[in-house]
Structure 1
C-alpha cells in the first residue's frame, strides 16, 4: 500500500535524476576531419625519419672506416625497411582503433 505522497516524491526524484543524467551525459563525438591528414603526415614523417637515421648512420660509419658509400647504401635500405615497418604498425594501430569504435557504435544501437 503506497501513499500518494510517496509516489509524488518518487516521481519528483526520478525527474531530478533524469535531469542530472541529461546534463552529465557524454556529448556525441564530432567527426574529426583532420584525422586522415594527421595519419598521412605521421606515416610520411616515420618513413623520412627512418631514411634520415639510416643515412646518418651509414655516412658516419663510412667516414669512420673509409668505406664510402657501402655502409651508407646498406643503412639507407635498412632505414627504409624500418620506416615501412613503423608505418605498417601505425596503420594497424589506427585500423584496430577504428574497428573498436565501430564495434562500440554497433553495441550502442538499439536492438529490435
Structure 2
C-alpha cells in the first residue's frame, strides 16, 4: 500500500470516530444522576455524623460526671439540629449551582 491510501483510510476512520462521538449526549444525564445520588448520600452522612457526634459527646459527659443520661439526650438533640442545619446548607448550595444551569428558574428565586 502507498501513503495516499493510508492517509485516506486514516481520514475515513477519523470521520467515523467523530460521527460516533456525536452520540455521547446521554453521558451527562447519567453523570447528573450519579451526581444527585452523591448529593443525597452526602446529606444522609451529614445528618448521621451530627447525630453520632452529639451522642458521643453526651455519652462521654455522662460518664465523666456520673449523671443520668441528661447530657446524652441534650447533645443528641443538638447533634440532630446541627445535622439538619448542615443538610439545609448543602441543599442551598445545590440549588445555587443548579439555578444558573437551568436558566434561572423564577420559582427557585422566590424561595430565597
The one of 8, 15, 30 equivalent to 2:28 is 30
Structure 2: gaps (5+ residues): 1-24, 105-112
Moved more, 70-79 or 34-43: 34-43
Larger helix percent:
2
Question: What does residue 6 of structure 2 align with?
Answer: none
- Report whether the alignment pairs 1:41 with 2:38: no
Question: What does residue 57 of structure 2 align with?
Answer: 57
TM-score normalised by length of structure 1: 0.64
Q: Distance in 2 between matches of 1:35 and 1:52?
A: 25
- Report whether the alignment pairs 1:85 with 2:73: no
SS in structure 2 at match of 1:45: helix
Structure 1: gaps (5+ residues): 1-27, 105-112
How much has 1:103 moved relative to structure 2?
A: 2.8
Question: What does residue 67 of structure 1 align with?
Answer: 67
Q: Distance in 2 between matches of 1:57 and 1:50?
A: 11
CA RMSD between the two structures:
1.9
Q: Distance in 1 between matches of 2:66 and 2:72?
A: 11
Whose Rg is larger?
1
Q: Distance in 1 between matches of 2:100 and 2:64?
A: 49
TM-score normalised by length of structure 2: 0.64
Number of aligned residue pairs: 78
Question: Where do 4+ consecutive residues of structure 1 move more than 6 Å?
Answer: none
